[in-house]
Structures are given as C-alpha cells and as structure tokens.
Amino acid sequence: MATILLIEDDDIMLKAIRNILTRDGHEVLSAKDGKEAFDKLDNAQYDIVMSDLMMPYANGLEVVSRLRNDPNRRHVGIIICSSVGNEETITEAFRLGADDYLKKPIMAGELLIRIKKLIANRNAGAKLVTKKK
C-alpha cells in the first residue's frame, strides 16, 4: 500500500479521511497546515500527498507547486480535496501538476478508487521508465 501525507486543517475531516485510508491498509501521516506540511515533506518520502486547498500558512496550490518543482519529489502523486469547486481553481490545480481533485464532502468508495488508480498509474509510469534504460 501507499505512504500518504494528508494535509487538512479541519480535525473532523482529517480523522475521517485518515480512518478511511488506514482501514484500507495505507500508512497515513498528517499535517494541519501548510507550514507543518512543508516540514514533513522535507523530512520524509511519500507516495501520495492529499491536500486541502484553503488552509493557513500555505494553500494546497502552493503544496502542488513545491512538489512539482522539486526534482526529488516530482514523482509523488497529488490529490487536492476541497469544498472550493469553481472551474478556475480546479484548472489551476491541474495546471500546477495535481493528479486528481476531489470535491468535499468526500465519499469513501470514490476516494479509495482514485487512490488505487493513482498508485497503479504511478507504478505503470515507473515500469516504463525502467524498461527504457
């Protein structure tokens, strides 16, 4: 399974998503704001980062941008989870490099399917790179 950094400033939402993911066998670490998230990203490797969009210190778009501009972390899968669902924000998240965007409230089944697809796509991409060498 995957090691996931969950960045969410709402305690109830954080606990709910963490429970869904850990029951599915994932290792979940959490951060409650952008500052804590950047500290955790600097000190560990993750397969997937799930981030809220609107939070203190740094928003989800800044998290996406930092990950995609870091050569050592470009491979990390990124899912934005937000109640903000306007087209401009969603488009910006994808333009910056998010792999997926989930609108809150999150449905457990949909979240798990998207996580599995993201892992499968990342693993397939890694295999293609390995075969080219």
pLDDT digits (tens, 9 = 90+) for 104-123: 989 999 999 999 999 998 77
Q: How far apart are the first and last CA of the chain?
A: 26
In this predicted model, what pLDDT tens digit does every residue of 33-68 receive, in sequence order? Answer: 999 999 999 999 999 999 999 988 889 999 999 999
Contacts for 129 with CB less than 8 Å, ≥ 6 apart? none
The hierarchical CATH code for the domain 3-132 is: 3.40.50.2300
Q: Quick one: what percent of the chain has pLDDT higher than 70?
A: 93
Q: Is residue 6 scored above 70 in pLDDT?
A: yes
H or E stretch covering 100: strand 100-103
> Which residue reads 């981030």 in tokens?
51
Quote the CA–CA distance of 118 and 83 in Å, as a whole number.
Answer: 21
